[in-house]
Structure 1
Amino acid sequence: MRKVYRPLGFSKGYNFPLFVIFAGAIFGFVLARISYLNVTGTSARSFRKSAAPGEWYFFHQGHYRVGIILHLAGCLPAGFLAVWQFVPVIRHKALLFHRINGYVVILLSLIANAGALMIARRAFGGGLDVQSVVGVLAILTTTSLALAYYNIKRLQIDQHRAWMLRAWFYFGTIITTRLFMLASAAIITRSGNYYQVQTCGEVAFNFGGAWTNPRTLPPPTLKMYPQCVNGTNDTPIVVNANMNGLPEQIGAGLGLSFGMALWLALIVHALGVEWYLWLTPAESARLRNVSYERQLEAGFRNPGNAGLTVDRWGDAPAFQPTKTVSLKPMEEK
């Protein structure tokens, strides 16, 4: 294994498998969704064709259309570029690329967050659970990126590492969310007594028609929602969640599950990244000493504590440098 991970700059055996699992998941997810950058296309893999039933009804026009374009144009390239930020050999031997790429990733991430906030009202049904968790995610990721940026400008490398890890673990919740959402949708389908409120226009849009022209709709749909025959596009109807049913029923199953799944995934990821940071104090200590050296060379007044360190804001013991270290792993000295 050392022959594989040492050339990439990994100095510890546990880091490389974790990188493959978590960075690989983000990289694979982005590659699987990269075709979504063709937002309005007619191909089977464009976002328009792959969106959950009912979503394109809102996203095809107005500020929701702008929001989904911003979100996809920001998050997909950001996810692709962010993976390279966590490859040690790039940080050690291509520092200029690491810095420029980092600025680009932060900018794209902020654009993606802006787009997510714009579409939260209609994403997978847009319930209050969805809107609240999207807002929390936007706050957590934006704050983490801002703190990571501040700390690296203050040469506090240990805190930069911690906040960048937090930011991308929070962003990664969307992947785990898919697993929880599909499992939940299957469960409520078996239950058979979960329902979502949609509109006649949403249901009709799935078949390329409108309730103003009922002839474009399949007869079973007209029988299931008779209140829409003399209604309008905005007439509310109750749709049963059924992943084996009609498009609007599949959309109901996904919509009812999405908010819960996103909250659950966020909790798992937030706890997971703190657990990882808690289990790697030696790496934090090494980078704290590196920060001390860099800040001392730069003439900072309080080397070792120029960033947002705990002993500046809490009751931790004052930092004392232990030894001269290098930012590069031992084998590269």
Structure 2
Amino acid sequence: MVDKFNDTIIRAYKGEQTDYTPAWFMRQAGRSQEEYRKLKEKYSLFEITHQPELCAYVTRLPVEQYDVDAAILYKDIMSPLPALGVDVDIKSGIGPVIANPIKTVEDIEKLGMIDPEKDVPYVLETIKILTQEQLNVPLIGFSGAPFTLASYMIEGGPSKNYAKTKAFMYRDSDAWFALMDKLADMTITYVKAQINAGAKAIQIFDSWVGALNARDYRIFIKPIMTRIFAELRNEEVPLIMFGVGASHLLMEWNDLPLDVIGLDWRTSIEEARQLGVTKVLQGNLDPAILLSDWDTIETRAKEILDQSIKDGRHVFNLGHGVTPDIKPATLKKLTDLIHSYSKR
């Protein structure tokens, strides 16, 4: 049996006043933890996610070590793509590498549809283990957004400029929207299955959509994201949007039927509010600051918390993911600071 359930972060996501500012850290499960590094000597990411008990252990470890207010499911945004027929591997030092990149509309037509119970039962079983037996905080599920998934599927792997992706989008808009619709359907089905299994909030990672300008976002992406969030709205769990280098898209996201906008470190809470953002905000300490001395970390975190306390509608996080060289002890100390400094 778990201890008394702490739903502080869910109440914060709904815009309610809470006793303190809740916190979790993107990529909190994994790379910086010694226990995880030992596991990675034996197993790949996909091998860990295919073993529910092991995956549950990796997911809950940062909750136990850092005292954060939420767990985020340990997996990758690539996890559902093999079900569609995408030949993807996560290569160390590179990231996702796709052996059969999308080049034509025929490639899109060959893509299948996901059946979560059949294709990713291990993901759903991991969620059930965590939410029914192990966690006393909410579990956040997630999915990649269509643009970010498409960027890997078209480029064949990580990209610095997304030139192939954008060229495909501009050159053949019919094929582009066909791909967006396929990925939107996958996202909706996959996320609903996570919620039904026990996930209490959902974060959609459109990590690389900042590569588009606002006009192109409105034309090529926003209608798809509106459909995704409108469908997921019926599930009645908080919905979070996050991307990197996307400050120019914040007001586009503010229009979407979601609850929370995640900020990277480029835009402060005050600046987002001045732009007109009305959603609950999440973020946004630069992860690199966690490699600095504690005085600097404390000063920067308190600056965010001062805005958070004044704003009243905020969940603390990093502006991107935990990097492998950040010490677990630093994350624990940061969580303690967030909780004590923001206590009301």
Determine which structure has greater relative contact order: mean sequence separation of CA pairs < 8 Å that are 6+ residues apart, divided by chain length.
2
TM-score by length of 1: 0.26
The higher radius of gyration belongs to: 1
TM-score by length of 2: 0.25
